[in-house]
Amino acid sequence: KNEVEQSPQNLTAQEGEFITINCSYSVGISALHWLQQHPGGGIVSLFMLSSGKKKHGRLIATINIQEKHSSLHITASHPRDSAVYTCAVDYGGSQGNLIFGKGTKLSVKP
């Protein structure tokens, strides 16, 4: 049973569109991570958050602790944003290992 659910699994968008990827989890967490992986590339950490909202360039991550839900938004999407986006949660154990969602494959067409 996967305790972290992402939607959608696949997403195709036109360049310039606003994109939202959703992540929900089952129990209380200490922190939630959003990660990016380009085709053939390694995993890169985009955000780590435990409350509120963070912004970096065209990327925005929000988290609602009460609803156990997080969203990753991409404004003015670009073909270079095409990648797999994964959320991962830290349930607060002493070791800090992450539980990952299955990822959302984003393709942005020019």
Partner 1 sequence: DTGVSQDPRHKITKRGQNVTFRCDPISEHNRLYWYRQTLGQGPEFLTYFQNEAQLEKSRLLSDRFSAERPKGSFSTLEIQRTEQGDSAMYLCASSPGTAGTRPHYEQYFGPGTRLTVT
50 part of the interface to partner 1, by CB under 8 A: yes
3-class SS of residue 69: strand
**CA-CA distances (angstroms) from residue 2 to 93, 99, 102?**
18, 9, 9
- Within 17-46, the residues that bind partner 1 by CB under 8 A are 30-31, 33, 35, 41-45
Neighbouring C-alpha atoms within 13 Å toward the C-beta of 88:
18
Instruction: Compare residues 48 and 60 and give the one whose CB is closer to partner 1.
Output: 48
| 97 contacts: CB under 8 Å, gap ≥ 6 | 90
User: Using CB under 8 A, which of 25, 103, 106, 108 touches partner 1?
Assistant: 103
User: Using CB under 8 A, which of 56, 57, 80, 94 touches partner 1?
Assistant: 94
Q: How many chain residues bind partner 1 (CB under 8 A)?
A: 28
Instruction: Compare residues 41 and 79 and give the one whose CB is closer to partner 1.
Output: 41
| Residue environment code for 92-108, b if the CB has 16+ CB neighbours within 10 A, otherwise e | eeeeeeeebbebbbbeb
- Interacting residues with partner 1 (CB under 8 A): 2, 4, 30-31, 33, 35, 41-45, 48, 50, 86, 88, 90, 92-103
